[in-house]
Structure 1
Amino acid sequence: MTEPRSSLIVPLLKARVPAEIQLEFPLPAEEEPIRDPFAGDLYITYALEIADEGAPSGRRYEHVARRHCAELGVAPGELRRRAVINLRDLRPELGLSWYPDVRAVTVSLGGAAGRGTLESGLLLDDGFLEKLAQDVEGDLVVAVPARDVFVASGTGHPDGIDRLRWAVAQVWAQDRDAADPAWEVPAGNLLTHNLMVRRGGVWDVLPS
């Protein structure tokens, strides 16, 4: 039996730009990708993850607009919950790589395949976040400088926070030859310089 297309919905985090680019011919409201606010300069969109051998990652993403919701049988208000469930199903393997010298961890989706494109979507998975928060002191702090980078520590680990800021700098480095190759990502995947802190189940920007 063919899986319903609703099982392909995944979360895609994006960053707001200082000034929205106005299209000469704006899309009709029903064609606009659905956006949900998140925290800081980040917001959530949703997409269908479709296998595509021609794409660099082997996958392509089609944004979900309001008109798609009826076709998919998913109400707009249910997209976030559905996307998180699908993320767990599509990426059942979590790779946690703790740094040996500080209390900080890099999380990857896809097991041996390495980083994918949806690691930042883990910011929406409350169950995973609650477990991860138990492994650090203080409030959970996460760096998602790019869509496929997720590095975490806690407010009780100043050296861990420094490592998160280092990871952000590596990802955003303009001189790619000077950056750690492990952090090189396509420019289109870049998200934010901010670190995010989770308090009482709510995300906010960690003050500098």
Structure 2
Amino acid sequence: MMQSRHSAVAPPQPGPLARVVPVMRARVPVAMQLEFPLPDSELPVVEPFVGNLLVGYAIDPPAEAAGGAGSRLLRQLATRHCAELGVAPAELRELAVANLRVLRPDVRFNWYPDVRAVSVTAGGDLEAGLILDEGFVDKLAQDVEGDLVVALPARDVFVATGTGHVDGIDKLRWVVDQIWTDERHLTPQEAAGAPPRGLAAPQRPHLLLTRDLLVRRGGSWQILA
């Protein structure tokens, strides 16, 4: 089932601000961090989310400007870019989520036939960022029993169920295992060696995020024990 989110979009922002999107990231272990740290102005803008997950931001170039969707690389947003764009880092999340609704408006819900669990797709590259859209997760929570549970094993994967569906939670863990053994995805350690202006190597375009399942309780996300 496909659902458009056009009705929920905010007024478009001008220029590059309209292309800023949220990109979920995994915290890179200290041992894998750069030996020579970047200057402060080049540090990526990131915020802690939950567990080992971070919220980062990038400029999503139009497909035609990037030579086609297959070769598109997101341009990581650094501190200096905020100054150049005239936007405060604290304003990025609201802006980026609104942009994601505009740039990835058509969301598909693929419910598993054997369990109450759903795989959500929205363009095939930034699905994990949907977890930041409060309106979206509120609506999704109405379709499951108990608290909403989400798996974000990779940047392009969003699978959900509810705490009231034990078999659904088992399905999410199965999906996580499948994704983490798929050679097309980069581990967070491998991602540390990705091209500096892109978030992934073109031949392996999707980053692994976390094996943890996340549960939304009282309006906040936690690691599901």
TM bucket, shorter chain: 0.7 to 0.9
Please name the residue that 2:217 is paired with. Answer: 199
SS at match of 1:14: strand
Please name the residue that 1:145 is paired with. Answer: 153
Please name the residue that 2:163 is paired with. Answer: 155
Q: Which structure 2 residues correspond to residues 154-193 of structure 1 after superposition, within 5 A? A: 154-173=162-181, 186=204, 188-193=206-211
The residue type paired with residue 127 of structure 1 is G
Please name the residue that 1:38 is paired with. Answer: 49
Q: 1:85 aligns with which of 92, 98, 102?
A: 98
Give me the whole-angstrom Cα distance separating, in 2, the residues matched to 1:30 and 1:77: 16
Please name the residue that 2:137 is paired with. Answer: 129
Once the two structures are overlaid, the 10-residue window that deviates more, 67-76 or 128-137, is 67-76
Change (3 A) 1:168 1:186: farther
SS at match of 2:116: coil
Change (3 A) 1:175 1:188: closer
Unaligned runs of 5+ in 1: 111-115, 177-184
Shift of 1:47: 0.4
Change (3 A) 1:174 1:95: closer
Instruction: Indicate the structure whose relative CO is greater, using CA pairs within 8 Å and at least 6 residues apart.
Output: 2
Change (3 A) 1:161 1:21: same
Q: What count of residue pairs does the alignment treat as equivalent?
A: 193
The residue type paired with residue 152 of structure 1 is A
Contact 1:11-1:47 at 8 Å conserved across structures? yes
Shift of 1:175: 7.5
SS at match of 1:57: helix
User: Is 1:120 matched up with 2:128?
Assistant: yes
Contact 1:6-1:73 at 8 Å conserved across structures? no
Shift of 1:54: 4.5
Give me the whole-angstrom Cα distance separating, in 1, the residues matched to 2:92 and 2:222: 22
User: Is 1:62 matched up with 2:75?
Assistant: yes
SS at match of 1:196: strand
Contact 1:50-1:61 at 8 Å conserved across structures? yes
SS at match of 2:108: strand
Contact 1:146-1:171 at 8 Å conserved across structures? yes
Unaligned runs of 5+ in 2: 1-12, 185-202
Q: Which structure 2 residues correspond to residues 7-46 of structure 1 after superposition, within 5 A? A: 7-46=18-57
* Percentage of identical aligned residues: 58
Once the two structures are overlaid, the 10-residue window that deviates more, 186-195 or 39-48, is 186-195
Shift of 1:44: 0.8
Change (3 A) 1:203 1:133: same
| CA RMSD in angstroms, aligned pairs only | 2.1
